[in-house]
Chain A
């Protein structure tokens, strides 16, 4: 069953603006990962944050994790048209298999 719930399901912003996506999950996790998927393509791993970490940065990406609220957020700063894609969070629990959220479809308008 899907564990992650993502919010919003779809987001459309202007190029240069920041995009924030949220993910909530239900059970304890070892880590949470964010992936990007361009239409009809495979997944690209963006960032992994462990359960004992609160924030992580990678280039224009910033991920936060709040284990008390069982939630995470992905911030993309200074968005570009090339950032248009679907973004998924995935949780890695004790079984070491990823459970994906429903995803957020992000559209960056030029």
Chain B
């Protein structure tokens, strides 16, 4: 149980375009979802926390107008990278916490690799 999926698994786009990444909790309701980014050979950096039906809380230094997060339902959160540039190329990982297993455990998606040309 407690599976989180992400779509797409990888995406290549041109500079200036917007890219949407979906994060779904498949078999549980996620009250809270988290978005991380990870550069090669580095750790995960939390970008934002989203609760269903409310605005996301962004970490310091993360541009909320550039990284739009929508947590529309208890099983779906989306991250839209607007006007993407090469420096936005990264591995984006979502996680979910909710009514499954231990309430302290976050379940991670497989990640989405974004490459901006």
Whether chain B is bound by chain A comes out as yes
A40 contacts B by Cβ under 8 Å: yes
Stretch at the interface among A12-20, A42-50, A52-60, A66-74: A42-50
Task: Please give the distance in Å from B91's CB to the nearest CB on chain A.
Answer: 7
Q: Is the CB of A31 within 8 A of B43?
A: no
Task: Please give the distance in Å from A64's CB to the nearest CB on chain B.
Answer: 18
Q: Is the CB of A48 within 8 A of B91?
A: no
Expressed in whole angstroms, the Cα–Cα distance for A43 and B96 within the complex equals: 12
Residues of B92-117 whose CB lies within 8 A of A: 93, 95, 97, 102, 104-111, 113
Per-residue CB contact flags for chain A residues 93-110 toward chain B (1 = under 8 Å, else 0) read 000111111110100000
Expressed in whole angstroms, the Cα–Cα distance for A103 and B4 within the complex equals: 22
By secondary structure, the A interface counts as strand
A27 contacts B by Cβ under 8 Å: no
B46 contacts A by Cβ under 8 Å: yes
Task: Please give the distance in Å from B23's CB to the nearest CB on chain A.
Answer: 11
Task: Please give the distance in Å from A81's CB to the nearest CB on chain B.
Answer: 21
Q: Is the CB of B105 within 8 A of A33?
A: yes
Q: Is the CB of B111 within 8 A of A41?
A: yes
Task: Please give the distance in Å from A86's CB to the nearest CB on chain B.
Answer: 8
Expressed in whole angstroms, the Cα–Cα distance for A100 and B36 within the complex equals: 10
Which residues of A sit under 8 angstroms from B108, Cβ to Cβ? 35, 42-45
A50, A96, A100, A105: which contacts B44 (Cβ < 8 A)? A100
Given A40-B113, A43-B93, A97-B49, residue A103 in contact with residue B107 (CB < 8 A): no
Which residues of B sit under 8 angstroms from A44, Cβ to Cβ? 108
Expressed in whole angstroms, the Cα–Cα distance for A30 and B105 within the complex equals: 12
Can you list 19 A-B contacts (CB < 8 A)? A2-B45, A31-B104, A33-B105, A40-B111, A41-B110, A41-B111, A42-B109, A43-B93, A44-B108, A45-B106, A45-B107, A48-B104, A48-B105, A88-B43, A97-B46, A98-B34, A99-B46, A100-B44, A103-B43
Q: Which residue numbers of A lie inside 8 Å of B, CB to CB?
A: 2, 30-31, 33, 35, 40-45, 48, 50, 88, 92, 96-103, 105
Q: Which residue numbers of B lie inside 8 Å of A, CB to CB?
A: 6, 32, 34, 36, 41-46, 49, 91, 93, 95, 97, 102, 104-111, 113
